Amino acid sequence: MNVTFNKRDPIYLQVMHYFKRLIVSGELKPGEEMPSRRQLANQLKINPNTVQRAFSEMEEQQLLYTEPNKPSKITEDPNVLRQLKKEWLNQAISQFVSAIDPVDISLDDLLALIEEEISTRKKDK
């Protein structure tokens, strides 16, 4: 459980983002149990209600489901999962293209820089 919170964004959003990422990557599998709200709050040294907020929003987005008095679980709905991955990717690309729009650089150079960054990261990990 490697989470570091930045001070700028709301913690509940950062918690959501952390778990969404795990779902997108497949590290959290459909049907898998989430940690309990209190337990997670203890680990992260945050208030249980902050976890509750993150979880209940993820539940609204149908990423989690909760049976009464049981820990929440990752959705098993393939449509929801597919949609999540799709949106995650679209959002990343859209934001990226928008960010580099003002920069004067050729497409080839840009793609080369991306490849370079990716291979650098592979090496480092």
Binding site for a copy of itself (CB under 8 A): 21-22, 24-26, 85, 88-89, 91-97, 99-105, 107, 110-111, 113-115, 117-118, 121
Given a copy of itself, DNA, none, residue 36, with its beta carbon under 5 to 8 Å by kind, binds: DNA
Q: Within its chain, how far is the Cα of 64 from the centroid?
A: 13
Instruction: For residue 25, give both structure tokens.
Output: 């990557």
Which entry of a copy of itself, DNA, none binds 50, CB below 5 to 8 A by partner kind?
Answer: DNA
- Chosen from DNA, a copy of itself, none, partner binding at 111 (C-beta under 5 to 8 Å by type): a copy of itself
What SS3 state is found at 73?
A: strand
Q: Which residues bind DNA (CB under 7 A)?
A: 7-13, 34, 36-39, 46-50, 52-53, 55-56, 59, 66, 68-72
Q: CA 39 to CA 57: how far, in whole Å?
A: 18
CB of residue 18 to a copy of itself, shortest distance in Å = 11
Which of 41, 74 has the CB closer to a copy of itself? 74
Closest CA to 19 of 34, 8, 5: 34
E strands in 6-63: none
Q: Which helix H or strand E contains 64, and what residues bound it?
A: strand 64-65
Closest of 1, 26, 2 to residue 81, by C-alpha = 26
Instruction: State in angstroms the smallest separation of the CB of 37 from a copy of itself.
Output: 24
